[in-house]
Amino acid sequence: MSSDTGSIGILDQDYPSTLESVDIVEADILKAAVDVGFGEDEQHEIGMAVRECMVNAVVHGNRYNKNKHVHLTVTKSAVDFSIRITDQGEGFETECVPDPLDDTNILRHSGRGLFLMAAFMDDVKVQKLSPSGTEVTLTKKLGKPE
Amino acid sequence: MSAKLNTREVGDVTVVDVSGRITLGEGSSAMRDTLRELVNSGKKKVLLNLSDVTYIDSSGIGELVSGFTTVANAGGTLKLLGLTKRVKDLLQITKLYTVFDVHEEEAHAVRSFV
């Protein structure tokens, strides 16, 4: 399946708000990353970013609510591989997320998820949806030498 | 494979051998519970052997940090042994590599505890 933008749809699916879904999505996307041709290091980076994003969606967004799901869309264009993860939570402001690298936050128990997504992907977009929910788009460029 | 932990004593140092994946859920909970038990039983010198840890996510990193502060608050010291390249890279990009005392060789790590 392809769109007018030239992107090819790889995955388009809902998942329940469980930790099991985090593992399943990680595995599904790693398989897609292999099929697309990413090397081992990039596969690891994509898997890490996806896991962090899914945990945020399940735990912080949907709060394990069995009546809420996480929607996953994976597409590939000529230049990049894109993963979109959408939850049905209340949404959040990225400006309100403490900087995990700040000295006052280094020893915090949590709060590194968004930072790691940005560290491992070429682009991360976070959009607060109306009336509710958060959509995170993770993008990895294709064709970079390892 | 969720993280598995095994505890042993080398002199007065408690070595916790961790293997598998330290991720949100069973893996991170197991590490948290083990470290709390060690602190509650009065252990002051704890060496986390991570040489067989294949994967760690931010939740796992959080438990390493919590373990570090829990042991320190109890008057003890927690050190790390045997980081794989990926775990080391993760600790470096989160600026945690310099927080922990990291060793590559067990005997040297054990001797380093005061």
Domains identified in chain A and CATH numbers: 8-141 (3.30.565.10)
- Find, in chain A, the residue whose alpha carbon is nearest to that of B95: A101
Spans of chain A, pLDDT less than 70: 1-5, 144-146
Q: How many structural domains are present in chain B? A: 1
Q: How far is B67 from chain A (nearest CA, A)?
A: 10
Residue B9 included in any domain: yes
For the cut 90, the answer to whether the pLDDT of residue B52 exceeds it is yes
Residue B114 included in any domain: no
Contact status of B69 with chain A (Cβ, < 8 Å) = yes
φ, ψ of residue A106 to 5 degrees: the values are: -55, -40
- Which structural domain range is residue B53 located in? 4-109
Rounded-to-integer distance, Cα B56 and Cα B49, Å: 14
Q: Are strands B13-22 and A80-87 parallel, antiparallel or unpaired?
A: unpaired
Whether A113 sits inside 8 A of B69 (CB atoms) is: no
Rounded-to-integer distance, Cα B104 and Cα B107, Å: 9
- ipTM of the assembly? 0.90
Q: Which residues sit opposite B49 in a β-bridge?
A: B17, B81
User: Any idea what the CATH number is for the domain that residue B33 is in?
Assistant: 3.30.750.24
Q: Which amino acid is at B39?
A: V
- Work out the number of other CB atoms within 10 angstroms of the CB of residue A37: 11
- Work out the number of other CB atoms within 10 angstroms of the CB of residue B109: 22
pTM: 0.92
